[in-house]
Amino acid sequence: MSTIKELQQRVGEINAANGWRTTNEAELDGKARVNSQITRLALITTEVAEAIEEIRNGHAVDETYYPDAHPFAVGTGAAPFKPEGVPSELADIVIRALDAAGAWGIDLEAIIEEKLAYNITRGHRHGGKAV
Ligand SMILES: [Mg+2]
Protein backbone atom coordinates (compact mmCIF):
# COMPACT_ATOMS: atom_id res chain seq x y z
CA MET A 1 0.00 0.00 0.00
CA SER A 2 1.35 3.36 -1.03
CA THR A 3 1.21 6.49 1.06
CA ILE A 4 -0.51 9.56 -0.33
CA LYS A 5 2.91 11.15 -0.69
CA GLU A 6 4.12 8.17 -2.74
CA LEU A 7 1.00 8.26 -4.93
CA GLN A 8 1.47 11.98 -5.48
CA GLN A 9 5.03 11.31 -6.66
CA ARG A 10 3.90 8.49 -9.00
CA VAL A 11 1.11 10.62 -10.48
CA GLY A 12 3.63 13.36 -11.26
CA GLU A 13 6.05 10.90 -12.84
CA ILE A 14 3.37 9.19 -14.95
CA ASN A 15 1.88 12.50 -16.07
CA ALA A 16 5.33 13.82 -16.98
CA ALA A 17 6.05 10.65 -18.94
CA ASN A 18 2.74 11.11 -20.76
CA GLY A 19 3.57 14.71 -21.66
CA TRP A 20 1.33 16.52 -19.17
CA ARG A 21 4.03 18.23 -17.13
CA THR A 22 5.60 20.29 -19.89
CA THR A 23 4.89 23.67 -18.33
CA ASN A 24 6.24 24.92 -15.03
CA GLU A 25 3.41 27.14 -13.82
CA ALA A 26 5.78 29.04 -11.55
CA GLU A 27 7.53 30.35 -14.67
CA LEU A 28 4.32 31.63 -16.28
CA ASP A 29 3.30 35.24 -15.94
CA GLY A 30 0.24 36.21 -13.91
CA LYS A 31 -2.73 35.59 -16.21
CA ALA A 32 -1.24 32.51 -17.89
CA ARG A 33 -0.40 31.01 -14.48
CA VAL A 34 -3.90 31.68 -13.16
CA ASN A 35 -5.48 30.19 -16.28
CA SER A 36 -3.35 27.07 -15.94
CA GLN A 37 -4.27 26.72 -12.27
CA ILE A 38 -7.96 27.17 -12.98
CA THR A 39 -7.78 24.62 -15.79
CA ARG A 40 -6.30 22.05 -13.42
CA LEU A 41 -9.14 22.62 -10.95
CA ALA A 42 -11.77 22.62 -13.70
CA LEU A 43 -10.53 19.23 -14.87
CA ILE A 44 -11.26 17.83 -11.40
CA THR A 45 -14.87 18.91 -11.89
CA THR A 46 -15.01 17.10 -15.24
CA GLU A 47 -14.24 13.86 -13.39
CA VAL A 48 -17.11 14.60 -11.00
CA ALA A 49 -19.37 15.11 -14.02
CA GLU A 50 -18.19 11.80 -15.50
CA ALA A 51 -19.10 10.04 -12.23
CA ILE A 52 -22.54 11.64 -12.34
CA GLU A 53 -23.01 10.44 -15.92
CA GLU A 54 -22.14 6.89 -14.89
CA ILE A 55 -24.99 6.97 -12.37
CA ARG A 56 -27.31 8.60 -14.91
CA ASN A 57 -26.48 5.78 -17.32
CA GLY A 58 -27.64 3.23 -14.79
CA HIS A 59 -24.37 2.01 -13.34
CA ALA A 60 -24.20 1.19 -9.65
CA VAL A 61 -21.80 3.38 -7.70
CA ASP A 62 -19.55 0.41 -6.92
CA GLU A 63 -19.57 -1.02 -10.46
CA THR A 64 -16.38 -1.18 -12.50
CA TYR A 65 -16.71 -2.31 -16.09
CA TYR A 66 -14.33 -2.69 -19.03
CA PRO A 67 -15.85 -1.70 -22.36
CA ASP A 68 -12.81 -1.75 -24.63
CA ALA A 69 -9.31 -3.11 -24.80
CA HIS A 70 -6.79 -0.25 -24.63
CA PRO A 71 -4.91 -0.42 -27.95
CA PHE A 72 -1.69 1.09 -26.58
CA ALA A 73 -1.46 -1.36 -23.70
CA VAL A 74 -1.63 -4.57 -25.71
CA GLY A 75 1.67 -6.37 -25.42
CA THR A 76 3.18 -3.90 -22.94
CA GLY A 77 2.32 -5.76 -19.77
CA ALA A 78 0.14 -2.84 -18.71
CA ALA A 79 -3.51 -3.34 -17.83
CA PRO A 80 -5.15 -3.87 -21.24
CA PHE A 81 -8.58 -2.62 -20.31
CA LYS A 82 -9.61 0.86 -19.26
CA PRO A 83 -11.70 0.61 -16.11
CA GLU A 84 -14.94 2.59 -16.31
CA GLY A 85 -17.55 3.48 -13.70
CA VAL A 86 -17.91 5.62 -10.60
CA PRO A 87 -14.95 3.95 -8.82
CA SER A 88 -12.72 4.83 -11.77
CA GLU A 89 -13.99 8.42 -11.83
CA LEU A 90 -13.36 8.76 -8.09
CA ALA A 91 -9.82 7.57 -8.79
CA ASP A 92 -9.52 10.20 -11.52
CA ILE A 93 -10.65 12.91 -9.09
CA VAL A 94 -7.95 11.87 -6.63
CA ILE A 95 -5.32 11.52 -9.37
CA ARG A 96 -6.07 15.02 -10.67
CA ALA A 97 -5.95 16.44 -7.13
CA LEU A 98 -2.62 14.71 -6.53
CA ASP A 99 -1.32 16.06 -9.84
CA ALA A 100 -2.35 19.61 -9.00
CA ALA A 101 -0.83 19.33 -5.54
CA GLY A 102 2.40 17.97 -6.98
CA ALA A 103 2.60 20.66 -9.64
CA TRP A 104 2.04 23.34 -7.02
CA GLY A 105 4.44 21.96 -4.42
CA ILE A 106 1.70 21.08 -1.97
CA ASP A 107 2.18 18.17 0.44
CA LEU A 108 -1.37 16.85 0.09
CA GLU A 109 -0.85 14.13 2.70
CA ALA A 110 0.14 16.74 5.28
CA ILE A 111 -2.81 19.02 4.53
CA ILE A 112 -5.24 16.08 4.65
CA GLU A 113 -3.94 15.23 8.11
CA GLU A 114 -4.31 18.88 9.11
CA LYS A 115 -7.86 19.07 7.75
CA LEU A 116 -8.89 15.84 9.51
CA ALA A 117 -7.48 17.15 12.78
CA TYR A 118 -9.59 20.28 12.30
CA ASN A 119 -12.72 18.45 11.11
CA ILE A 120 -12.83 16.29 14.23
CA THR A 121 -13.38 19.49 16.19
CA ARG A 122 -16.31 20.74 14.07
CA GLY A 123 -19.03 18.88 15.93
CA HIS A 124 -22.26 17.23 14.88
CA ARG A 125 -23.02 18.05 11.23
CA HIS A 126 -20.59 20.92 11.45
CA GLY A 127 -22.94 23.05 13.50
CA GLY A 128 -26.29 21.71 12.26
CA LYS A 129 -25.92 21.76 8.48
CA ALA A 130 -28.62 19.71 6.71
CA VAL A 131 -26.28 18.06 4.19
MG1 LIG B 1 -12.49 10.11 -15.92
pLDDT per residue as tens digits for the range 23-49: 888 899 999 999 999 999 999 999 999
| Distance from C-alpha of 23 to C-alpha of 25, rounded to nearest angstrom | 6
Domains of the chain, by residue range, sit at 4-128
Which residues of the chain fall short of a pLDDT of 50? none
Position 74 scores a pLDDT of: 61
Q: Tell me, what's the pLDDT at 34?
A: 96
CB 88 within 8 A of CB 66: no
Q: Which pLDDT does position 69 carry in this prediction?
A: 63
Q: What is the pLDDT of residue 100?
A: 96
CATH of domain 4-128: 1.10.287.1080
Supply the pTM of this predicted model.
Answer: 0.87
Q: How far is the CA of 58 from the centre of ligand 1 (A)?
A: 17
Question: Ligand 1 centre from 77 Cα, in Å?
Answer: 22
- The pLDDT assigned to 119 comes to 93
Ligand 1 centroid to Cα of residue 76, in Å, is 22
